Structure 1
């Protein structure tokens, strides 16, 4: 056997292995640099990028599902002051956010301004019934007037219009509006909606600083809101929740502003999920979001002097009267994470973490929100009165649920395939090449190095046998 030739081959193999291993190692920072550059380019809100195409108009269909609270014992409540019994009815589903952003204007300070149009289309196939389904619900006019008007005046208005604490309304009327006989105007939980706009918003494009992409600079042309009479609570923090800066750190919370609740909130990482073959980080609102100030001092400036707040000791509700212009209280559905007294005040509530919590599934590389469920409950308040006929028997102030909604969107197959083809697959392919080169190179180097030691020893042994 020609050990000399074999030794050269072994040495050459070791050198080749070393080269492959070094090449694989070199590709790691090079690959990371390529990925970083690609993401930084495509995550910018600029015409021609992936981010822009999905930003102008939602890539996945966005739906709002509504569950209405049907009052089962309205007569007993009025006649005897009985504990309310409610049953949720739903979902009644509408397609929303199907209209692209309007009046898009880029500014020189790395921001873009736009208006967000509102629209809703009923989806019968995703609903339990029709928009004409009728239920007994809280009277919006009476509950809205209770904390505002003198009780003698409200009682007179109720008598003249033949109004009661509760009313019979169909789904369409309650959501989108009806002529109210007492106030002589159109009322509805979301009236007016179709044809209205949210904004204008000014958000950073990320072109100059990718860490600021999608962050809200101004809402309604102001850098803060003015609903809370406090600098901290009036801050507008983060994005609108549809996307965040790329390269997420799961140890850091995500901040976003919601005009629905007139304030900014944060979401914390809870788990890593697989969404149609894409690894996403799931973020959820922490329990402290609507906690009482005794548990979360940051919430003190959201507390108002409403009688339902119980000297700021009540958890789980947010008084948005100054924002909405009418006495409205926002909570999580079924008063999830709220004070026990809220749930115990009515029969028929059953808070569930799985069904009633809000979450966002965000791609950790690009910062795009690929799946979300925003769940909120709209409540109003009434209490005892020595004047108003319908409230003579009522003993306590009650935060009464009108409905809760689940605004949701999930990545469809077409968008998922596009996302994987343009971003996920190239990244995984590059990663596989890096690992393969490094592994083959290291294995080849180790094997050939061992052989390089064995071959001379074997050659010497054979030589000794010859002599």
Structure 2
């Protein structure tokens, strides 16, 4: 065997070994990474993940934009379309801390999460005592509770509304008032009457009254331990010891399903729906894959809430259970949550009624829905399920309707009236992102480079080993041809001899 053939065989075998090694390392390393993640994901005392879970290091912001009504008299007296002007943002730093933590043998942990809010003047357009004109939600709540009561009771309350301060349909309130609460004269005056009809009213009212410094209930979630597996990590088992809410009309609508939206089970696929339970909207929803994004140098999947989630029941029969009362279904893009707000006619939607029916958007002057600005998004690491960027956007509205014998509502046009929209957001900080990249992203990229590098080098050697003999044979043929030509020339250039014809034909 010639030396060239031996070299070809060596490179052929060595290249094949590198290709096989690179291909074998792909599933081996894939399984290794998955197994390591399965070890690190579960919540357990003493781990770094547990510390970050108890006190999230990522800065959280709670931002509010209010809608200032510019034509209250025309709306009340003439039934004009409400015209609003957006003001904001008014920004708060949100702090979360988990308390009353108890682990159980079935792979679950129970806790409460305290939330507190601190006003951030530098990130706001003005102080939180700035005022705006908005709907008198206590007043329309009382009117709504009286809708099916006796006429004489409606007339008695209407007479009371005429003499009590703060009983008009629209009020001027500050940002702090509408959020955290203010003493309401009407609620104080109506309290005794309401008690006789099994309705309880406090003296104060605010959309987030008693939220600052408190929690929204006891959560029991799966830790992701071997008992239940990482596929259930952070999934809610119970809320306030319940697996269903008791608000909605069908079991699928009423069930508590998903995580709290801060983390998801690992190994997220584009085909997955990420389920989230939110006490703010009194239901579970889901987000579906939208597009790839990059945050802090990490490749992520962006999930968003699709329009079908809030689609009208006539288009999506799965939403029939959210009609309140049963059969009374609102158009697409809005949800009546009065059943979980003590009868207050509160309706939720996307900001500026994004994805809502045209009749809802055109029912208020000043709505400018924009997908990029008003969409709820979650940027999720598909490997670990960690959320690098979250923007939960929600609009709170009041359902304005006429009520018999309540004169302040006699001229109004039925409207979903926008009060405010908010964005509760969190973006991973640089320190946490760099730690994540150094511990997981960089090692994965280096290993992948080695894997595919072995395959590329092996393939190159393999091809060279196959090509070298061919090239050698072609080169040999060319050499032989040149020798023949050279010999022919030598023959033709020799002087004639006795045996050579002097005349050649």
TM-score range relative to shorter protein: over 0.9
Once the two structures are superposed, the pairs formed by residues 32-431 of structure 1 within 5 Å of their partners are: 32-47=30-45, 49=47, 51-96=49-94, 98-149=95-146, 150-162=153-165, 163-184=167-188, 185-208=203-226, 209-305=229-325, 311-312=328-329, 314-327=331-344, 328-385=346-403, 387-394=405-412, 396-431=413-448
Deviation, structure 1 residue 385: 4.2
CA distance 1:51–1:296, change in 2 (3 Å): farther
CA distance in 2, matches of 1:462, 1:349: 83
Deviation, structure 1 residue 76: 2.1
Deviation, structure 1 residue 42: 2.0
Q: Deviations over 1:144-188 (max 9, x none)?
A: 211013432332332232221111111111110110011120111
Q: Give secondary structure in 2 for the equivalent of 1:270.
A: strand
Q: Give secondary structure in 2 for the equivalent of 1:174.
A: helix
Equivalent residue pairs, number: 460
CA distance 1:460–1:71, change in 2 (3 Å): closer
Deviation, structure 1 residue 48: 5.1
Q: Give secondary structure in 2 for the equivalent of 1:82.
A: coil
CA distance in 2, matches of 1:412, 1:451: 54
CA distance in 2, matches of 1:407, 1:130: 19
Deviation, structure 1 residue 251: 1.4
Q: Give secondary structure in 2 for the equivalent of 1:37.
A: helix
Larger deviation, residues 164-173 vs 43-52: 43-52
Q: Give secondary structure in 2 for the equivalent of 1:40.
A: helix
Confirm or deny: 8 A CA contact 1:42 1:50 kept in the other structure.
Answer: no
Larger deviation, residues 39-48 vs 126-135: 39-48
CA distance 1:7–1:47, change in 2 (3 Å): farther
Once the two structures are superposed, the pairs formed by residues 435-454 of structure 1 within 5 Å of their partners are: 435-452=452-469
CA distance in 1, matches of 2:390, 2:451: 34
CA distance in 1, matches of 2:403, 2:336: 21
Q: 2:149 is matched with which residue?
A: none
CA distance in 2, matches of 1:32, 1:456: 44
Q: Deviations over 1:423-444 (max 9, x none)?
A: 1111111111100011101111
Q: Give secondary structure in 2 for the equivalent of 1:351.
A: coil
What TM-score do you get using the length of structure 1 for normalisation? 0.92
Deviation, structure 1 residue 34: 1.4
Q: Give secondary structure in 1 for the equivalent of 2:252.
A: coil
Unaligned 5+ segments in structure 1 are none
Q: Deviations over 1:364-390 (max 9, x none)?
A: 111111111111111122322453332
Unaligned 5+ segments in structure 2 are 147-152, 189-202, 488-505
Deviation, structure 1 residue 7: 3.7
Deviation, structure 1 residue 452: 4.5
CA distance in 2, matches of 1:46, 1:429: 30
Deviation, structure 1 residue 398: 2.1
Q: CA RMSD in A?
A: 2.3
Confirm or deny: 8 A CA contact 1:358 1:374 kept in the other structure.
Answer: yes
Q: 2:493 is matched with which residue?
A: none
Q: Give secondary structure in 2 for the equivalent of 1:425.
A: helix
Structure showing greater radius of gyration is 2
CA distance in 1, matches of 2:137, 2:100: 34
Deviation, structure 1 residue 50: 5.4
What TM-score do you get using the length of structure 2 for normalisation? 0.86
Deviation, structure 1 residue 461: 9.1
Q: Give secondary structure in 2 for the equivalent of 1:289.
A: helix
Deviation, structure 1 residue 83: 1.9
CA distance in 2, matches of 1:41, 1:280: 22
Larger deviation, residues 315-324 vs 217-226: 315-324
CA distance 1:164–1:432, change in 2 (3 Å): same
Larger deviation, residues 179-188 vs 4-13: 4-13
